[in-house]
Amino acid sequence: MRPLFCSILLGFASVSVAQDPLPAAGSASPIAVNQVGYLTDGPKRFTSPLLKTGAFSIQTVKGNKTVYKGAINNHLGDFSGFKPANGAGEYSINIKGQKGTSFPFSIERNLYQEQFWQPAINFMIDCRSVVGTHPSAYGGCPWRDGTYYSYEVPSLLWLYAADPVFMEGMPRQINWQEDKQRVLSPEFRYDEKNPQSEDVMEAVTRYYTELEPPADKAPDAVKLIHWGLGFYLMKPYTKDPSQDILPKQIHGQVVAQFAHFLYAWDKLKLNRWIARSFYDKCLDFVLTHWKASGGLAIDPNWSTSTYSEPIKTDSGWVLKILHPYKGRHVPGHSILPNLYMYQVTKNRFPVLARDFINAAKNQTRWIIDSLDWNIPGATKGQRGGEFKTIVNLVWFLKNMPDQAPGELQHKIEEWAQVVVSRSDNMWDFRRYDLVDHWTIPEMNETGNLAGFPACALAAASVLKEGTLKSRLTEIAYAHIDNLFGRNPKMAAAANRPHKGYPLVENGWPIHYKPDVCARLELCRGGLDASPGTEMYPYNPQGKFRHPEGWIIWNASWNVSLAFLQTSRPAHENKNGADAAYR
């Protein structure tokens, strides 16, 4: 059996990267599965793109023993009812009358946490600007290729809150003192030939010399949270280097990351690891900059009237303007930070607290009245940031129902209905629209795949039991499957699976050119690419999209991993933080 956990601590298993993923040798009909595997009690589905109906069986890889039988309907096979004991070995799927089998996969009760959490943290460690795996800071933010909307710190807080005990049991890899000594040494050579990277070394120097460090024994996730916010305290003015018209400034979404931390301070008992003086600096930062950075307002860029439309050319669809497709201005992104700051300030600063709660109400009311889920740019078109809208709305409804505006429940249900209506296909894949586009026009949308489970599981948590809720949950898990091989290319999103995903047989077959941009090829646990419209519904030789990862992809993935954990039955998530953090 492939190793389940021990080999992913450092993530450098000796595995070659596949150059061109193909169906298993001798197979007359491809069988697309999640190559990592499935949760015992979760939805378990595969796609047979060339065979609409038929019979299938599941065999153990070791011993080739048949352990389950089922039927293929509309190219889909469902084996959710198969719930083997943990540690029973790997499995593969065989289609009656066809040669060959699917790639092997595992079924374990805690598979996703065991397989995905350490690589997720590894990526955040390696991708740090200057101090990570490359001495540069593309974009000038705490993480290479980061920007004001990339949500790194909140994503780490969500993940930590989902199971603090598991997180605290992870190996410690960050050594603050050693990192300080290395990057402040006269021999250290910072690579400043990157956009927006000026003043970074000054910020890093001040971070290591002016702030009290996190506790030596703090989990890496906490040290990363300290790093991200500490860096921004030293260098709060940023600019997105990728065709953004906004100037360098203190962006509201940077300030919002501090609000997440302030709310989590007591919930997660972060005073065990981080000095109170650091908390005070973060609180002062929010109180100084939140209103000025637009946190209390309704951003004009939320309006779908500002969205650009893709243009059809002889060579394909083209995006002349990247709004909303970068996900810079996700509607309602400031709702949850306002709610958090209301909770943080309601006793000490009641006048300020009133401003925060009123802003959250007004912003939520705007979404209810003004945002049309049927416009693709308002949902999937937000790329890696869509989850912010849905998670924020759901949190408001679940945790402050007496304060939430009316019709919020109905608005969330409408979103779920649109998602389900766009997912009736053999991949259980939420399309961009039902006309020309399966995926976001032109762009790589891996982050949307990674973040979508958070959207769907959050929304499902406030739906009544029934078909809509169960189908939405099924689609959420299908997007994890898509990331790890259940897609037309039958390839996982990681093009270097040996750096974090040892159970993956076929990684993404093309790589982004190395040693340019953010040097993400040096990071463990990266997610790089996925099929675009050109490969759907089943055209594995279709045109490739841009094959480069992005810190936003992994931040989105962190949030989905958190919701995958907290959405499980209580007896399977005993270590999660109190429900108010979910």
What pLDDT digit, counting tens, does each position of 166-213 carry? 999 999 999 999 999 999 999 999 999 999 999 999 999 999 999 999
Q: What mean pLDDT comes out for the span 326-331?
A: 97
Residue written as token pair 């937000």: 382
Chain segment 351-364, per-residue pLDDT in tens: 999 999 999 999 99
Chain segment 204-257, per-residue pLDDT in tens: 999 999 999 999 999 999 999 999 999 999 999 999 998 899 999 999 999 999
- Mean pLDDT of the residues in the chain: 93
Stated pTM of the model: 0.94
Chain segment 522-539, per-residue pLDDT in tens: 999 999 999 999 999 999
3-state secondary structure of 332: coil
Q: Enumerate residues 6+ apart whose C-beta is below 8 A from 335.
A: 360, 363, 364, 392, 393, 396
- How far is Cα 446 from Cα 482, in angstroms, rounded to an integer? 10
Chain segment 438-492, per-residue pLDDT in tens: 999 999 999 999 999 999 999 999 999 999 999 999 999 999 999 999 999 999 9
Residue type present at position 194: N
Predicted pLDDT of residue 28: 58
Q: What is the DSSP letter of 20?
A: S
Beta bridge partners of 106: 37
Q: What is 99-164 written as a DSSP string?
A: SS-PPPBEEETTHHHHHHHHHHHHHHHHTBTTTSSSS--TTSSSBTT--TT--HHHHHHHHHHH-H
Burial class (CB in 10 A: 0-12, 13-18, 19+), 187: exposed
Predicted pLDDT of residue 569: 77
pLDDT at 541 > cutoff 50: yes
Q: Are 92 and 58 in contact (CB under 8 A)?
A: yes
CATH number of 111-581: 1.50.10
Pick the more confident residue, 557 or 9.
Answer: 557
Predicted pLDDT of residue 25: 40
**Stretch (H or E) spanning 479:** helix 467-483
pLDDT at 9 > cutoff 70: no
Distance from CA of residue 214 to its chain's centroid? 25
Domain ranges in the chain? 111-581
- Given the DSSP bridges, would you call strands 311-313 and 76-78 parallel, antiparallel or unpaired? unpaired
Predicted pLDDT of residue 582: 57
- How far is Cα 479 from Cα 459, in angstroms, rounded to an integer? 15
Predicted pLDDT of residue 571: 64
Beta bridge partners of 68: 58
Predicted pLDDT of residue 568: 86
Q: pLDDT grade, residue 578 (50/70/90)? A: low
pLDDT at 325 > cutoff 70: yes
- How far is it between the farthest Cα atoms of the chain? 72
